[in-house]
Structure 1
């Protein structure tokens, strides 16, 4: 089995609003660390535009008031271009703990960056994600179970990356990105 060299980072990248469910991910991460279901060498990196200051402050307080999370949850400002894609490429897993939204744009970005992506059934992605582990029920327990399963078996999932997502749909829906990737490959 091939080893995949990614940083031990769980990445949340997107707008910071209640609908996206970031506090769910923070709580799940803390719970998984406390129960040793996830190695304490993992970090949770949060990168995004703050659209709801009050919600963001509540999350910051959760992190600052937790001895487990302090130093393990990193907040950074929104990124774009090469910086944005570099964060995705380096991360072990991108998690979007959404409560409800359409098709997440980041799903295609993760696919093209060859990075595992986990979301909930709150996202309209059932036609893109073939493996139910990566498309959990829209509750904290299911999301936690999926995250732990993926992190503890990530080499296996990376070795089977092409079976997890419906590449035909992603390529059809993002023909521009596919064209750019193919040009880069041919050079």
Structure 2
């Protein structure tokens, strides 16, 4: 098996994992068991799709395909969450995160440097976890730990699928994969802490 075919296999597995992860998550939203923070998902959708574009410009090849697919599905999740009256508690910083997410593409056009866009978008994507972490700490059972675990695994496969590894192509999946694992840790740890402690 040639290296390029190996990378195509990793990319294909990553895309399959994307669908496997999103299917139960979307069902959980529709059934009302999971109530994601809408702003986080709109931020992640804008960031993910733009990063995929930057990765393709940086030579990521098939390694960018799972990120692009994820960006499209993430946008769908954001719209579904909004239609299902998901968690829409909005704080001032949430608007800041959203504005930063949409500022990266114009900056890329101005600098002609996809790495600059990726650095900003990766930072914004990580900040996008803020609203969800705040919510997960209060309502840990409304977040899906398995989904974010599969997300971490998917991003590991994306790195293996990159046709050209560089800061432009690898920074985003590496950082988001680590963030997903940390978010899962927060969810599981918070579930072990009683919501109400009885005095005495």
TM-score (norm 2): 0.31
Structure number with higher helix proportion: 2
Structure number with higher strand proportion: 1
Tell me which of the two structures has the higher relative contact order, counting C-alpha pairs closer than 8 angstroms and 6 or more residues apart.
Answer: 2
Which protein shows a greater Rg?
A: 2
TM-score (norm 1): 0.32
